[in-house]
């Protein structure tokens, strides 16, 4: 089932086009990582889906309901976590959550139970009587997530939830999001911490200057971003001889030696498994055996992986509006 869909979604601010014919599909149970440079249109997209902005043209649908026309029906189905929560200086944590539960017409024993449940889920039970403005940035983000879970939404829209957090707080938020996904929530999350998105998300989208450059699985984006292959090889001695031998493979574009290690740059190929194909049909996986047969002792043989950060840098140009 499609939980989020945008059809030629466009948002203009005067002459500035923040979103340019954005077409996006997120299915039920997906954890969708939305990445792009600052000013690319991520927050604008999330605010449109959260019914806080009206599209200039095109459509945005959440759970089959159209933003701008069915906002009242959409809002109970979504939970929106902004990058910074508002100030509630005179409230303690329990009052803060009870206030928002009341806004969703959750009353009496049901309200007290749901407040207890979300505090337990976000590991904030011991902060029940703490003032909201006394919480650390990480605890405030967990409280913000607790707030949006009060009415048990189907879709979570999270705008940079790990922004400004220390490493421990980021790990806690990441584990919480994993648990929410196990609970069946559909999550759209924007973030600049790309290696954590790769661990958390099954689908990613890359946006730049309001245009969607790519949307699909993490595995596919890494495959598309691969422009060649880099191998790191270390032998115990005769480095120059080993480098010369490996440089003879037709698929090798460059061989360099540094600090006893050898770096091999391979040319792009339609099938990355077959990169260093020589006249005898050898591939790069045969290189260790070839080196051993020539009397070399191998201390290291590994391929440099393409990660989400590398893919992001290769697919975007750093352009903003």
pLDDT tens for residues 192-240?
767 777 778 889 888 888 999 888 887 777 666 555 567 788 888 887 8
8 contacts: CB under 8 Å, gap ≥ 6: 21, 22, 23, 57, 58, 59
Domain with CATH 3.40.50.300 in the chain: 2-224
Q: Lowest-confidence range among 28-32, 104-108, 216-220, 273-277?
A: 273-277
- Compute the distance between CA of residue 304 and CA of residue 230 in angstroms, rounded to an integer: 5
Confidence of residue 281 (pLDDT cuts 50, 70, 90): low
pLDDT at 240: 80
CB atoms within 10 A of CB 301: 16
Q: What is the pLDDT of residue 254?
A: 78
Q: Give Cα separations from 122 to 98, 177, 186, 226 (angstroms).
A: 16, 10, 18, 38
- Of 7-11, 61-65, 96-100, 169-173, least confident by mean pLDDT is 169-173
Query: Residue 289: pLDDT band by 50, 70, 90 thresholds?
Result: confident
State the span(s) of the chain assigned CATH 3.30.70.100.
227-305
Closest Cα partner for 303 from 233, 224, 225? 233
Q: Inform me whether the pLDDT recorded for 163 exceeds 80.
A: no
Q: Percent of the chain at pLDDT above 90?
A: 44
* Cβ pair 318, 312 in contact under 8 A: no
* Residue 160: Cβ-neighbour burial (10 angstroms; 0-12, 13-18, 19+): buried
pLDDT of 248: 74
pLDDT band at 276 (very low <50, low <70, confident <90, very high): very low
Strand partners, 6: 24, 60
Helix axes 137-149, 93-103, angle to 10 degrees: 30
β-pairing, 31-35 vs 186-190, is parallel
Comparing 45-54, 62-71, 152-161, 198-207, which segment has the lowest mean pLDDT?
A: 198-207
pLDDT band per the 50, 70, 90 thresholds, residue 249: confident
| Among 278, 232, 291, 228, CA closest to 257 | 232
Average pLDDT in the chain? 83
- Non-local (6+) Cβ contacts of 173 within 8 A are 138, 141, 142, 145, 161, 162, 165
Q: Does the pLDDT value for residue 189 go beyond 80?
A: yes
Q: How far apart are CA 1 and CA 170, in angstroms?
A: 30
Note whether 203 and 221 are within 8 A (CB). no
Residue 48 has pLDDT above 50, yes or no: yes
Across 135-144, 145-154, 162-171, 272-281, least confident range? 272-281
Per-residue pLDDT at 260 exceeds 70: no
Query: Average pLDDT for residues 107-122, to the nearest whole number?
Result: 94
**Per-residue pLDDT tens digits for 35-44:** 888 888 999 9
Q: Which tokens sit at 9?
A: 């979604």
User: Is the pLDDT reported for residue 158 higher than 90?
Assistant: yes
Do residues 266 and 252 touch, judged by C-beta distance below 8 A?
Answer: yes
CATH class of segment(s) 227-305:
alpha beta
Question: Taking 80 as the threshold, does the pLDDT of residue 285 lie above it?
Answer: no
Give the containing element (helix H, strand E) for 187. Answer: strand 186-190
Q: DSSP string spanning 94-149? A: HHHHHHHHHHTT--HHHHHHHHHHHHHHTT-GGGTTSBGGGS-HHHHHHHHHHHHH
Give pLDDT, residue 291: 80
Within 10 A of 259 (CB to CB), how many other CB atoms are there? 6
Residue 107: φ, ψ to 5° = -130, 165
Q: Indicate the helix (H) or strand (E) that contains 312.
A: helix 308-315
pLDDT at 272: 35
Nearest-5° Cα angle at 62, 60 to 64: 100
CATH classification for the domain delimited by 2-224, as one of 3.60.20.10, 3.40.30.10, 3.30.1540.10, 3.40.50.300: 3.40.50.300
Contact between residue 78 and residue 155 where contact means Cβ atoms under 8 Å apart:
yes
Burial of 261 (C-beta count, 10 Å sphere; 0-12/13-18/19+): middle
Measured CA to CA, the distance from residue 132 to residue 316 in angstroms comes to: 39
């Amino acid at each position: 089932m499609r939980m989020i869909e945008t059809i030629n979604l466009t948002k203009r601010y005067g002459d500035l086009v923040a979103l340019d014919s954005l077409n996006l599909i997120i299915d039920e149970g997906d954890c969708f990582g939305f990445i792009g440079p600052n000013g690319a249109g991520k927050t604008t997209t999330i605010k449109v889906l959260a019914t806080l902005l009206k599209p200039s043209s095109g459509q945005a649908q959440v759970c089959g309901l159209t933003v701008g026309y069915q906002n009242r029906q959409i809002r109970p189905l979504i939970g929106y976590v902004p990058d910074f929560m508002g100030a509630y200086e005179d409230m303690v944590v329990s009052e803060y959550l009870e206030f928002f539960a009341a806004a969703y017409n959750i009353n009496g024993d049901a309200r007290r139970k749901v407040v207890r449940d979300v505090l337990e889920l976000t590991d904030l039970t011991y902060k029940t009587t703490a003032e909201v403005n006394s919480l650390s940035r990480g605890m405030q983000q967990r409280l913000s997530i607790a707030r949006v879970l009060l009415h048990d939404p189907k879709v979570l829209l999270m705008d940079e939830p790990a922004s400004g957090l220390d490493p421990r707080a980021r790990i806690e938020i990441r584990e919480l999001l994993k648990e929410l996904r196990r609970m069946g929530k559909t999550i759209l999350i924007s973030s600049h911490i790309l290696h954590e998105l790769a661990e958390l998300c099954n689908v990613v989208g890359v946006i730049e200057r309001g245009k969607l450059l790519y949307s699909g699985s993490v595995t596919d984006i890494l495959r598309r971003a691969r422009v060649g292959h880099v191998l790191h090889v270390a032998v115990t001695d005769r480095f120059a001889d080993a480098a010369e031998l490996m440089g003879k493979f037709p698929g090798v574009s460059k061989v360099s030696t540094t600090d006893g290690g050898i770096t091999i740059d391979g040319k792009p190929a339609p099938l990355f498994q077959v990169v260093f194909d020589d006249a005898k049909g050898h591939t790069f996986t045969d290189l260790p055996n070839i080196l051993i047969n020539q009397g070399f002792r191998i201390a290291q043989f590994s391929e440099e992986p393409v990660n989400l950060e590398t893919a992001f840098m290769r697919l975007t140009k750093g352009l903003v509006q």
